[in-house]
Amino acid sequence: MVDDGDVRRNSGGGTLFGPYEVEYGGRKYFGNVWMREFHTFRRADGIYLFVVDQMAVHKISEATARIIDKVSCSSGGLVPASMLEHLKVFDLVEEKDKPASRKAESNGKRDRAAGNKAELGVSTIALFVAQECNMRCVYCYGRGGKYAGGGTMRDETALRAVDWLMENSKSAEKVQIFFFGGEPLLNFPLIKKTVGYAKARASGFSKKITFGITTNGSLITDEIVSFMKDENIRPLISFDGTREIQNRQRPFRDGNGSYDTVYASVQKLRPVFPQLSGRATVYGDSDPCEIKDGMSRAGFTACFLTKASRVILDGEDATETADDEALSHRMIAFQQKEWIRLFQSITERRVEQGDPARSLVPLVTGQKRYFTCGVGKWFAAVSVSGDIYPCHRFVGQDDTRMGTIADYRADGLNEYHRSTVDALPQCSVCWARYLCGGGCAYENKSRTGDRRMSDALSCAEMRATLETGLALYARLDDDDREFLKDAYQSIVKDRLP
């Protein structure tokens, strides 16, 4: 024990309620030292430290790990000056008097960021020009593309949706329309009419407008390719990789396989869109590595894979997917390989597009991810009837309907703006929150019943894959990181801090 009479205090104000310095036995100690939130983890090649609030990752020695462990367990006890200096190298020492002051400062930055985006209103919509589909994918969360409804959008609804976007995008300089379904190309004439009208309206509002389309790729004609090229409509093709998997999981309505038709469409698109993106769904016992290889062979340069979602339309209980835990393990192994591929590409001065490249954005820029996406905030979906939902995945779910294009106004902060990772009890104590953003709202709701709460399996999967990415990022040199910052400039331009 340290005798109070033998301790010389230097607390800058005579109080022990903030950090203070003492001398004992001729050595300096510091008391009431608070450490920043951190996470340490081991890999085969050593130990890594992630400082949560600083968005910084370091490879550390065994000795440093022991110091961190000792100080973090001291509960504000005296820390030798030598240890304190060691911690400061990694910016682990909280300079404020109390951790609460840092939390208040962080919350202020978060709230200002959310408020700034609220000022922009809704800048992106998914326009459901068709809630019908010519395929019958075995995992469709839209129940055959109908989303508890069906039909195709009328011309006047589409044009009014464009007006709604212009009126509710407020001060946003750029707006986006993504054509969605069902299969949106079942209503190609309306897409053409909408693009022309939207360009004219955007010009009248002094806004720049861009377009995209998510399609199953089965209805691509030369006319459609030409139109997409002329209007720079970026396609995202749903494609499950190999002939066997595509035909089994994504058959046509009559049961016939769709691989040959979609593959031919991809070949039509490749000369026009050299950077062609594809999205695959991993379902049942399918192998994500096999799917990715099949997509690459077909000609996709950016491949995004996601697990099949549970169906929760019309308030139904979520449908179970086959062996979630086994599938999660396969996805972790796949994503770890993808992280390695990404970092190999970085050393070759290119960035291989895919899910890891998206996850890397917060780490490269230092911009915290308070939300996973723009659901209910700067992104909305418009159904064939003109109803507004927080995103395309919620269309048809009455309990998430926000209004219609006739009556809903994007004014001020709503419950989605307020659902930041720091405001969610489960996320607020997770070291990965600013890299993750809290998970997909639809996936959360389908697995836990609450869009604000992730399930344990998904969280474990996210943390495992992020640890792989963090360890690899820590190995990059200054030139590699500078290259990444330049490469990501266009990606993060409109991203929420």
Please choose, from the candidates 52, 12, 121, the residue with its C-alpha nearest in 3D space to the C-alpha of residue 421.
52
Sign (positive or negative) of CA dihedral 481, 487, 490, 495: negative
Domain extents in the chain: 4-95, 112-492
Distance between first and last Cα of the chain: 47
Backbone angles phi, psi at 374, to 5 degrees: -90, 15
Q: Strand 233-238 relative to strand 277-282: parallel, antiparallel, unpaired?
A: parallel
Residue 457: count other Cβ atoms within 10 Å of its Cβ.
14
Burial of 222 from C-beta contacts in 10 A (0-12 / 13-18 / 19+): exposed
Return d(Cα 126, Cα 414) in angstroms, integer. Answer: 19
Return d(Cα 373, Cα 421) in angstroms, integer. Answer: 12
- Cα 368 to chain centroid, rounded: 11
What does each C-alpha distance from 133 to 145, 150, 355, 392 come to in angstroms? 5, 9, 27, 15
Residue 240: count other Cβ atoms within 10 Å of its Cβ.
29
| Superfamily grouping for domain 112-492 | Aldolase class I (3.20.20.70)
Return d(Cα 402, Cα 37) in angstroms, integer. Answer: 37
pLDDT of residue 12: 37
Is residue 365 within 8 A of residue 488, CB to CB? The reply is: yes
Residue 320: count other Cβ atoms within 10 Å of its Cβ.
9
pLDDT of residue 149: 87
Length of the chain: 497
Please choose, from the candidates 360, 454, 491, 492, the residue with its C-alpha nearest in 3D space to the C-alpha of residue 55.
360
Return d(Cα 60, Cα 62) in angstroms, integer. Answer: 7
pLDDT in tens, the chain (497 residues): 344 444 444 433 334 455 677 887 778 888 777 888 999 999 999 999 999 999 999 999 999 999 998 888 766 678 888 888 888 889 888 866 555 555 555 555 555 555 555 566 999 999 999 999 999 999 998 888 888 889 999 999 999 999 999 999 999 999 999 999 999 999 999 999 999 999 999 999 999 999 999 999 999 999 999 999 999 999 999 999 999 999 999 999 999 999 999 999 999 999 999 999 999 999 999 999 999 999 999 999 999 999 998 888 755 555 455 578 899 999 999 999 999 999 999 999 988 888 888 888 888 988 899 999 999 999 999 999 999 999 999 999 999 999 999 999 998 889 999 999 999 989 999 999 999 999 999 999 999 999 999 999 999 999 999 999 999 999 999 999 999 888 887 555 444 32
Return d(Cα 494, Cα 489) in angstroms, integer. Answer: 10
Please choose, from the candidates 310, 305, 313, the residue with its C-alpha nearest in 3D space to the C-alpha of residue 394.
313
The structure tokens 């006739």 sit at 406
Return d(Cα 466, Cα 434) in angstroms, integer. Answer: 11
Backbone angles phi, psi at 17, to 5 degrees: -85, -10
Backbone angles phi, psi at 278, to 5 degrees: -130, 150
Q: Strand 56-60 relative to strand 27-31: parallel, antiparallel, unpaired?
A: unpaired
- Cα 433 to chain centroid, rounded: 11
If you write DSSP's letter for every residue of 317-383 in order, what string do you get? PPPPPTTHHHHHHHHHHHHHHHHHHHHHHHHTT----BHHHHHTHHHHH----SSSS-BTTTEEEE-
Return d(Cα 309, Cα 324) in angstroms, integer. Answer: 11
Longest C-alpha distance within the chain, in Å? 89
Specify the 3-state DSSP secondary structure of 8: strand
Is residue 391 within 8 A of residue 377, CB to CB? The reply is: no
